[in-house]
A and B are shown apart, each in its own frame.
Chain A
Amino acid sequence: MAKRVGMEVSISISEAVKLANVDVISAYPITPQTHIVEHLSEFVSDGELHSAFVPVESEHSAMSAALGASAVGARTFTATSSQGLALMHEIMYLAASMRLPVVMSVVNRALSSPINIWNDLSDIMAERDSGWIQVFAINGQEAYDLTLQAFKIAEDPRVLLPVAVNLDGFILSHVIEPIELFEQKEVDPFLPPYQPVLRLDPEKPVSMGAFGSPEVFIEVKKQVEEALIGSQKVVAEVWKDFGQRYGRVYKPVESYQTKGAETILITMGSITETAMMAIDALREKGRQVGLVHIRLWRPFPFKEFLQAIKGAKTVAVLDRALSPGGVGGPVGLEVKSALFGKEERPYVAEFVAGLGGRDLTVETFIEVLDKAEKYSQKQKDFQYELIGVREK
């Protein structure tokens, strides 16, 4: 039976990867991701996990080695953060286009400069268009569950795409909290061994990652795009299966107190539950506010998202990454795109906050909701507002 234990969230990720019985782990340490692969290397050296652990000289090599391993049919895992993910950038696109179901924990951390080890989502947002399935955990249990689910989603023959499981650096990764851990025999029926459709095999030689001339390139890209969009169906199936087996239900978009809500706050990741407390505080004062958080970021669940915010007069988006010279952050951009051309559409107030680990409190979310309602009343015309800037 599943056991409830107090555990650092990073360590619980290693436990999930161990239960997934991965064949190959390739990794290069970087804060705040380090504890995950450190602990996995202990499992391997202690003989608790029969995997090849490939310590490499850079993240570029970590992702390259993961691709090679996945191409021969190995269940493959890696993890990184920030500059490490940036160094993987060119190989990220290869993983998706080559249809290699690598699973990676991205422990979100700001990109330099100034050099900063703390949390925001600028690292993963630079990989938005890489073709990876991207999910976000709001707490430690989700980070653990999503990691296990990621292998099943990635390796489904209808999907065959890499999955990035995002968890916020420090705010999630370094927190000790209660996590329900599965036993191996509970997980095995849910996650059987990987059965590759096609693999590098000397007995049946194939080429992977070959040259793609203009005559075939667009067709390959279309296949990847269709696989990514089509993966939402498989994600839903896997989440349904997981919910039926273990009782924890996951959806691409989740709603909190949205019934009758005139103003809805949009969040992603570990800020979500703190923001829920702001919703509760304002509801107690009779304010009609609610929250929607996006768990499945790629493919973006347009239908579910639009359904979730239906009826709201005002939508406040809290982004933790900035697209300089644009209209704010990537989540706001997606929300505005989703609404463009719709007959009934709410006023969207876009906010960027929490960059480089600036702490977000219940009061911050109250401030954001207050401002969104005020701007909505005035129909204020603005691109976005940066929250919490200290300036004279």
Chain B
Amino acid sequence: MTEIRFHGRGGQGAVTSAELVALSAIDEGKYAQAFPSFGPERRGAPVVAFLRVSGSRIRVRSKVYHPDIVVVLDPTLLDIVDVAAGLKPGGTVIVNTAKTIEQLRAQYGFKGRLAAVDATKIAMEEMKVPITNTTMIGALLKTAPLTTLSAMEQPLNHRFGRIAERNKKAMERAFAETTIRE
């Protein structure tokens, strides 16, 4: 089982990210569980969402305290939230940032596997909005084969309708442009 924690700000779509990956994984016959951090919606405030993907039935329903992967949708959170809290040894941190991985390490001291992508830039170019949820799915799938880009199409079409294409494009670009360092 892979456990993932998404960090975003209310309105950026952290919950949607977790949900869409879960839907895609379930479509592929896997088991998945996605849920929000159960708070009243607060636009702009730090929020978390949780995702579990597994080859077998998932029974645990508590929050994710020891994630395998942490996805950070908003770089400004790095200064106010300990995003790597509880990260499993060998776990991965994925950050939406304009910085390089070396700059991130120097500034925040992340040890272990680190991935970076300028998701805000991609989202602005492809969708004209700074909403990075679908873009960061591309980065997530680059670091872990939880589901495939092609399996993501159906949930994206269903959720976004006529703007689904732009979301797919942003996701695919992030998949291609994400850099990973062990």
Is A177 a contact of B63 with CB atoms below 8 Å?
A: no
| CB-contact partner of A177 in B32, B40, B65, under 8 A | B32
A-B complex: 5 closest residue pairs judged by Cβ atoms: A6-B26, A273-B59, A6-B23, A361-B62, A170-B38
* A357 (CB) vs chain B CBs: closest residue: B38
Q: Which of A165-181 contact B (CB under 8 A)?
A: 170-172, 174-178
Is B40 a contact of A174 with CB atoms below 8 Å?
A: no
Is B19 a contact of A270 with CB atoms below 8 Å?
A: no
The binding surface of chain B is classed by DSSP as mixed
B110 interfacial by beta-carbon distance below 8 Å: no
Q: Which of B7-37 contact A (CB under 8 A)?
A: 18-19, 22-27, 31-36
Chain A residues within CB distance 8 Å of chain B: 4-6, 8, 31, 117-118, 170-172, 174-178, 270-271, 273-274, 276-277, 357, 359-362
The binding surface of chain A is classed by DSSP as mixed
* B15 (CB) vs chain A CBs: closest residue: A174
Write 8 A-B pairs (CB below 8 A) sorted by A numbering: A6-B24, A6-B32, A174-B38, A175-B35, A176-B35, A177-B33, A177-B34, A359-B62
Is A273 a contact of B33 with CB atoms below 8 Å?
A: no
Shortest Cβ distance from residue A147 to the other chain B in the assembled complex, whole angstroms: 19
Docked Cα-Cα span, A178 to B38, in Å, equals 20
* A6 (CB) vs chain B CBs: closest residue: B26
Is A276 a contact of B23 with CB atoms below 8 Å?
A: no
B61 interfacial by beta-carbon distance below 8 Å: yes
Chain B hits for A274, CB < 8 A: 59-62
Is A175 a contact of B59 with CB atoms below 8 Å?
A: no
19 extra A-B contacts, CB within 8 A, seeds A6-B23, A174-B38: A5-B26, A6-B155, A8-B19, A117-B38, A118-B38, A170-B36, A170-B38, A171-B35, A175-B33, A175-B34, A176-B19, A176-B26, A176-B33, A177-B22, A177-B31, A177-B34, A178-B26, A273-B59, A362-B62
| CB-contact partner of A360 in B27, B32, B62, under 8 A | B62
Is B61 a contact of A171 with CB atoms below 8 Å?
A: yes
* B29 (CB) vs chain A CBs: closest residue: A4
Chain B hits for A4, CB < 8 A: 26
Is A176 a contact of B60 with CB atoms below 8 Å?
A: no
